[in-house]
Amino acid sequence: MNYPEKIREQAEAILVRYPEGRERSALLPLLHLVQSHDGYVSDAGIAFCAEVLDITKAQVQAVSTFYTMYKREPAGDWLVSVCTNTLCQAKGGQKVFDALSDELDVAHNETTPDGKITLEHAECLAACDYAPVVTVNYEFFDEYGEDKAVELVRELKDGRRPIPTRGAPLCTLRELSVQLAGFDEERTAGLEGNAQGDATLAGARLAAEAGITAPAGEPDAPLLAKEPEEAK
Ligand code: FES
């Protein structure tokens, strides 16, 4: 496997984070590492992870195909995900997807011929209070109907990096994979970001106004509740 020395050094740095005998738990960051180099989890990446962890390629493949964040086909710099789950669907999620599919001339899980943009349907993106939701490399663009979503991908096609509604500034899928492998991203812009959305904070604000607080935790309490005496 022809990976550069830097990738091999980073793989070693990942392995030493795990206790002896538990190194195979490093498979998830290792898959992000090879994705950061190849732009997807290639067959070479599968073989590299198997070699590093001394497990079979079938075991690596089984994990890589379970999680949707690992791409098994070459993906674009920009992964555009359109939520078509219940609430977003009720607010036009499918229309957003269809508009982007027309604009980019690609279907679900396909990438534009220039290799820049991959489009996918997504299940609930955990931002139902901002439906319909689009993400680019998992950063949120809240309440993006058809027109705003089409403008968004036009900006990406033009080489610009639109500012997400919340969270960190956009980085490419490869740059993101470096972060997910557990390494600092070199761009300082990756550390900046917008504040949380007001809808997310509304519940906390109402609770504060009503004087409602969470019960105090017991820091030393065991993780599992004790069995009641009578149940023994
Ligand atoms: S249904 Fe779209 S974010 Fe939850």
163 with 153: CB under 8 angstroms? no
Does the residue 190 lie in any domain?
Answer: no
Domain membership flag for residue 189: no
CATH number of 92's domain: 3.40.30.10
In this structure, the answer to whether residues 124 and 87 fall within a common structural domain is: yes
Note whether 58 and 112 are same-domain residues: no
Residue 78 DSSP code: E
| pLDDT at 185 (0 to 100) | 65
Give the least confident one: 26-30, 42-46, 118-122, 193-197.
193-197
Which DSSP state fits 119? E
**E-only strand ranges, the chain:** 78-83, 110-111, 117-122, 134-136, 139-141
Q: With 90 as the cut, is the pLDDT of residue 89 above it?
A: yes
Task: Evaluate if residue 14 carries a pLDDT over 70.
Answer: yes
Of 47-56, 116-125, 164-173, 216-225, give the lowest mean pLDDT range: 216-225
pLDDT for 199: 83
Same domain, yes or no: 59 and 92 = no
**Which ligand 1 atom sits nearest the alpha carbon of residue 84?**
2
Question: Do 51 and 116 sit in the same domain of this protein?
Answer: no
Strand 117-122 versus strand 78-83 pairing type: parallel
Q: Which two tokens stand for residue 151?
A: 């403008």
- Residue 134: name the closest of 105, 103, 92 by CA: 92
CA dist 181 to 7, 13, 135, 139, Å?
11, 10, 20, 18
* Residue 83 annotated as binding site: yes
30-72: pLDDT as tens digits:
999 999 999 999 999 999 999 999 999 999 999 999 999 999 9
User: Is residue 165 domain-shared with residue 87, that is, in the same domain?
Assistant: yes
Q: What is the pLDDT of residue 116?
A: 96
The pLDDT assigned to 203 comes to 86
In which band, very low, low, confident or very high, does the pLDDT at 94 lie, cut at 50, 70 and 90? Answer: very high
Lowest-confidence region among 10-19, 93-102, 206-215: 206-215
Task: Tell me which of 168 and 127 has the higher pLDDT.
Answer: 127
How remote is the CA of residue 80 from the centroid of ligand 1, in Å? 15
What is the span of the domain harbouring residue 59?
5-64
Q: Is residue 183 part of a domain?
A: no
In the predicted structure, residue 117 carries a pLDDT above the cut 60: yes
Burial profile 72-106: b = 16 or more Cβ within 10 angstroms, e = fewer? beebbbbbbbbbbbebbbebbbebbbebbbebbeb
Q: Look at residue 220 and tell me if it is in a domain.
A: no
Among residues 146, 140, 104, the alpha carbon closest in space to that of 124 is found at 140
Confirm whether 230 is domain-assigned. no
- Mean per-residue pLDDT over the chain, rounded: 90
The answer to whether residue 206 is domain-embedded is no
Q: What is the pLDDT of residues 156-176, one digit of tens each?
A: 999 999 999 988 889 999 999
The answer to whether the annotation marks 124 as part of a ligand binding site is yes
What's 70's DSSP letter? S
pLDDT for the residue 97: 98
Residues 93 and 52 in one domain: no
Ligand 1, atom nearest to 86 Cα: 1
Residues 9 and 32 occupy one common structural domain: yes
Out of 125, 154, 172, a domain closes at: 172
34 and 102 together in one domain: no
From 35, 64, 93, give the residue that closes a domain.
64
Cα–Cα distance measured from residue 54 to residue 220, given in angstroms and rounded to the nearest whole number: 38
Ligand 1 surroundings by CB, under 6 angstroms: 83, 85-88, 124-125, 127-128, 131, 133
Report how many domains make up the chain: 2
CA of 164: how far to CAs of 14, 26, 226, in Å? 30, 30, 45
With respect to residue 159, please indicate whether it lies within any of the assigned structural domains: yes
pLDDT at position 201 is 85
Pocket test residue of 81, 96, 128 for ligand 1, highest count of atoms within 8 A of CB: 128
171: annotated binding-site residue? Answer: no
User: What are the residues whose beta carbons fall under 8 Å from the beta carbon of 209, sequence distance 6 or more?
Assistant: none
55 lies in the same domain as 99 = no
The pick from 82, 83, 130 for probing ligand 1's pocket by mutation, whose C-beta has the most ligand atoms within 8 angstroms, reads: 83
Report the pLDDT value the prediction gives residue 216, as an integer from 0 to 100.
78
Within-domain flag for 218: no
Give the CATH number, domain containing residue 44. 1.10.10
d(CA 61, CA 55): 11
Higher pLDDT, 195 or 118: 118
| Residue 84 CA to ligand 1 centre (angstroms) | 7
Mutate to test the pocket of ligand 1, among 88, 91, 139, 200 (most ligand atoms within 8 A of CB): 88
Q: Are residues 82 and 54 in the same domain?
A: no
